[in-house]
Structure 1
Amino acid sequence: MDFELKSLTLARVCTEKCDALIVLVPDGLASAADPVSSLVAQAIKSGDFESKAGKLLGAYAPAGIAATRVVLVGAGDGSAKSVKTAVAAAMGALRGGPARRVVLALSALRGSDSEAAQAAVQACDYASYVYTTTKSKPAAQKLNRVVVGVKALAEARAGFSRGVALAQGVSLAREWANRPANHATPTLVAQAARELGKLPNIKVDVLGPKEVAKLGMGSFMAVAQGSEEPLRFIVLRYDGGPKTEPPVVLVGKGITFDTGGISMKPAAEMDEMKYDMGGAASVLGTFRALGALQPALNVVGLIPACENMPDGRAVKPGDVVTSMSGQTIEILNTDAEGRLVLCDALTYAERFKPRAVVDIATLTGACVIALGSIRSGLFSSDDALAQSLTSAGDSSLDLCWRMPLDDEYAEGLKTNFADVANVAGRAGGSITAAKFLQRFTGKFPWAHLDIAGTAWKGGAAKGATGRPVPLLIDFLLGQVQAAKKPTLKRTARPAVKSRA
């Protein structure tokens, strides 16, 4: 979709020729003589409209307004959250209609034009996304151009550009998570990563089974050995900062389909296990946004990609494997495979002498029970890193919640037959999974995002959300200034016209 930023007062927006004009109306909009303001005043006076975020009123060819259709939508207090709610509601009203060119008027809002423009672009693109890759006759996307009208053009540019970049990143993450497993094999995911290598300052390397074996990634290989699809270990590098600057490393779980292996999952809703690469998709999406934004920092992305299948060669409950770190692992449940691929990727991350490492994974059903679909679970051994991620979640409206990591939670991972078991009991399952990962993070500040509840939606709205790309981008942009300071100290604790 094409986005354009334009300086438009409410008076000027009345003369904009378009298929649909969306006007965001905040609380307490001052009266004025222009046709849009008059329409708003009459609608509120009659009781047909209110400014509560998301409330709608449509009009067809109203007098004095050049747009064919006008949608008034309440924007409440004008905050980024209210703007997203308003734009999502308005785009929903237009979805499926004939509108091709839409003007989105933010001119009446009293807050930051930059924040409003970013929120509006993200919400507009999100609401317009349609999956078409594997449809024989995909519905044509009629809406192809959105003009974002603001009061202060110069002030809005930065937020607008960030919004477009985030829209591109979230859309890419949604696309790859939504694809069925036969259209998103480890090899195809690696090809998607290679496409990102065409963007400025991004380099991509892809390791196959022989290279992974040479590295000693016995835990990762154990998960992949039951599948006919060869594993891929994908390494992305965004080099936007000085060569001497340590990077932030993002590790995305890339299980392109998870049957559970020999510990097979029940058939109901198993199709949703194509979303088990949500962490990998978020890393791809984050790098897409980095390629557009070009911030002054260094970022590494690691994606261990494979399938978890119940072949005759598949790893069995009770098998013991040796991880890249040298630690041995007793695999008591083959459906706890995400942590097995992540632990080797975390050990691989050591070679970059990272400033911080964040892994992102659809790791545990227990996190869905704990936090539902509103907040991602955040686990960290470093208070400063945890606070940075929490703040990024708040500012991006991509929320997370910090969970405990008390040492006592690791007791259930003890075994008589290896250094560690890959599962403990049912109690505190998301925490014990994080405690397993923590064993492989002793050489850097580390955080783990469990996105099992937030990476996709089920039911009638089934589809990937693209989370936590917004959180990760806000976090990384926050590190641009932090990168000029010493490495995070660990603390002990239990364009104006753009295309999206």
Structure 2
Amino acid sequence: RDGEFRGRAGESQLLYRGSANGAGTLRLLLLGLGSHSDFDAHDLQRAAGMAARAARASRIKHLYFMLPASDDERQATRAVAEGARLGLYEVDFYQHSEEKAPELERLTIIVSDVADELRAEIARAEIIAESVNWARALSDEPGAALPPREFARRAAEMAGEFGLRVESLDADQVRERGLGGLWGVGRGSEEKPALIVVRYEPEGATDGDELWAFVGKGITFDTGGISIKHGLDMYEMKTDMAGGAAVLGALRAIAQLKPRRRIVGIIPAAENMPSGHAIKPGDVVKTLAGYTIEVVDTDAEGRLVLADGIAYARQLGASSIVDLATLTGSIIVALGDHRTGLFSNHDEWATRVGEAAGRAGEPTWRMPVSDDYKKRIESAIADFKNYGGRPDATAAALLLSKFAADTPWVHLDIAGTAWYDEAQPHAPKGSTGTGVRTLVELALS
């Protein structure tokens, strides 16, 4: 009927018709894909997620998905398979119900010609989507259920399942080795910090081969510390480890897809809590790199732990670094929730990471990072300070760049893209898993 379905992106309409022989009801699900001129594989992926959720809600057990006309059927097939799996993710793991939740048991993708290459695309899509959902589940866990030691345990459990190597440091080792940023942030909590380190070494690799480092912020709950946050929406700070979850999710997929690339994942994990042991505004911490940082705001803790994570990556001999973090509110002011802020000290590496993110459907926007903004991080008492006002996203990235030094480095500020504030047609409210697909695409490129 007029006005019910216009084909806009995010719209769907379920139609019913009785079968000719009276055997049952036929159902047709129409999906809005938006304008043809703007349509791409990532729109198709979201549409597939929307279809899977709508079909499940209508208790449809077997969904047939007809691919729209496409110049690249492999890419379209992968988009549908990946999108449907992502769309079936839910955050109801602590809900109790007497009634069994409906399930979509089977998805059939209707293509022009079945070929082994399409089956391979579906297999790849399944691996990546399942790893994204694994990372989302970590990020959606309550802070009490995922303190640093549990985060480290789950990382080790995943690593054992997929043949990755674990080289994590416990709290005593963190302190003894001089990771003062990580130790300083974590010392206010009863749950002590950890440095989670997971390696992927392809078969036949040697120590002389190039090593990439993925560094993810792992603040398992962020109250702001002594510079405590306001209570409204603080519960979302359980996802302040989304960067760390993305690194682990990416390694989970990489271990199965087996690119010829040595990769180490590093997650400095801590709780940022106020207590008599907590770091105080005005305190100075000495980092692993030897630099000192004046802590003028304990709620700018992410850059303290990342400084140590980046320095640790350089100690391991990383030739290129990507860090991911829900780092600043100011990146949300700048870019909203559609694009991730990308900062870098190296144009070629920035282009490579940005292009991988675009192919993965996780678009970025390059932001400035230069000594034009150095007054924001200058301290009278220490080498640097951790907060100097707006533009904070750039100032935070500039501080991190000092620890990357001359190593090609990209910082992805995912504060605006790591979380859905409300349910979407293709996803529930909660973690998005942003970063997993970017890192996997980068590793495979």
TM-score (norm 2): 0.91
Maintained 8 Å contact 1:410/1:432: yes
Identify the residue that residue 69 of structure 1 maps to in structure 2.
Answer: 27
Asked if residue 321 in structure 1 is aligned to residue 297 in structure 2, the reply is no
Q: Deviations over 1:24-81 (max 9, x none)?
A: xxxxxxxxxxxxxxxxxxx9xx999776655545234544999953324355657313
Identify the residue that residue 119 of structure 1 maps to in structure 2.
Answer: 79
Unaligned regions of 5+ residues in structure 2, if any?
Answer: none
Maintained 8 Å contact 1:413/1:424: yes
Aligned match of 1:190 in 138, 142, 152? Answer: 152
Using the TM superposition, give the Cα deviation of residue 288 of structure 1 relative to its aligned residue in structure 2, in angstroms: 1.6
Unaligned regions of 5+ residues in structure 1, if any?
Answer: 1-42, 479-500
Secondary structure of the residue aligned to 2:240 is: helix
Aligned match of 2:66 in 105, 111, 114? Answer: 105
Identify the residue that residue 89 of structure 1 maps to in structure 2.
Answer: 50
Identify the residue that residue 404 of structure 2 maps to in structure 1.
Answer: 441
Aligned match of 1:278 in 242, 248, 255? Answer: 242
Identify the residue that residue 232 of structure 1 maps to in structure 2.
Answer: 194
Aligned match of 2:317 in 353, 372, 379? Answer: 353
Using the TM superposition, give the Cα deviation of residue 238 of structure 1 relative to its aligned residue in structure 2, in angstroms: 0.8
Secondary structure of the residue aligned to 2:365 is: strand
Higher mean displacement: 379-388 or 51-60: 51-60
Aligned match of 1:464 in 431, 436, 439? Answer: 431
Maintained 8 Å contact 1:133/1:179: no
Identify the residue that residue 58 of structure 1 maps to in structure 2.
Answer: 15
Q: What is the distance in 2 between the residues matched to 1:312 and 1:287?
A: 37
Kindly report which structure 2 residues correspond to 1:135-284, keeping only aligned pairs within 5 A, or say none.
135-137=95-97, 140-152=101-113, 153-240=115-202, 242-243=205-206, 244-284=208-248
Asked if residue 288 in structure 1 is aligned to residue 248 in structure 2, the reply is no
Opposite residue 82 of structure 1, the aligned amino acid is D
Q: Deviations over 1:276-329 (max 9, x none)?
A: 011011112111211221222111100111100001110000011111111111
**Structure 1 residues 88 and 58, CA gap change in structure 2 (3 angstroms):** farther
**Structure 1 residues 50 and 454, CA gap change in structure 2 (3 angstroms):** closer
Q: What is the distance in 2 between the residues matched to 1:443 and 1:134?
A: 46
Opposite residue 279 of structure 2, the aligned amino acid is V
Opposite residue 358 of structure 1, the aligned amino acid is V
Maintained 8 Å contact 1:255/1:305: yes
Using the TM superposition, give the Cα deviation of residue 127 of structure 1 relative to its aligned residue in structure 2, in angstroms: 1.6
Opposite residue 227 of structure 1, the aligned amino acid is S
Maintained 8 Å contact 1:177/1:277: yes
Q: Deviations over 1:125-149 (max 9, x none)?
A: 1221112332233862522332333
Q: Deviations over 1:138-197 (max 9, x none)?
A: 862522332333223233233222211111111011101001001111111112111222
What RMSD in Å do the two structures reach over aligned CA positions? 2.3
Identify the residue that residue 28 of structure 1 maps to in structure 2.
Answer: none
Secondary structure of the residue aligned to 1:302 is: strand
- What percentage of residue pairs aligned between the two structures are identical? 37
Aligned match of 2:417 in 454, 470, 488? Answer: 454
The count of aligned residue pairs is: 432
Secondary structure of the residue aligned to 1:216 is: coil
**Structure 1 residues 421 and 52, CA gap change in structure 2 (3 angstroms):** closer
Opposite residue 116 of structure 1, the aligned amino acid is A
Asked if residue 430 in structure 1 is aligned to residue 390 in structure 2, the reply is no
Asked if residue 332 in structure 1 is aligned to residue 289 in structure 2, the reply is no
Secondary structure of the residue aligned to 2:213 is: strand
Maintained 8 Å contact 2:49/2:88: no
**Structure 1 residues 191 and 137, CA gap change in structure 2 (3 angstroms):** farther
**Structure 1 residues 112 and 199, CA gap change in structure 2 (3 angstroms):** farther
Maintained 8 Å contact 1:114/1:158: no
Using the TM superposition, give the Cα deviation of residue 207 of structure 1 relative to its aligned residue in structure 2, in angstroms: 1.3
Identify the residue that residue 133 of structure 1 maps to in structure 2.
Answer: 93
Maintained 8 Å contact 1:262/1:315: yes
**Structure 1 residues 110 and 318, CA gap change in structure 2 (3 angstroms):** closer
Maintained 8 Å contact 1:61/1:70: no
Identify the residue that residue 9 of structure 1 maps to in structure 2.
Answer: none
Maintained 8 Å contact 1:172/1:284: no
Q: What is the distance in 1 between the residues matched to 2:87 and 2:401?
A: 37
Q: What is the distance in 2 between the residues matched to 1:250 and 1:66?
A: 53
Using the TM superposition, give the Cα deviation of residue 443 of structure 1 relative to its aligned residue in structure 2, in angstroms: 4.2
Using the TM superposition, give the Cα deviation of residue 355 of structure 1 relative to its aligned residue in structure 2, in angstroms: 2.7
Q: What is the distance in 1 between the residues matched to 2:358 and 2:414?
A: 16
Kindly report which structure 2 residues correspond to 1:20-59, keeping only aligned pairs within 5 A, or say none.
54=11, 56-59=13-16
Q: Deviations over 1:355-388 (max 9, x none)?
A: 3100000000011111110001000001011111
**Structure 1 residues 191 and 61, CA gap change in structure 2 (3 angstroms):** farther
Q: What is the distance in 2 between the residues matched to 1:411 and 1:333?
A: 16
Secondary structure of the residue aligned to 2:160 is: coil
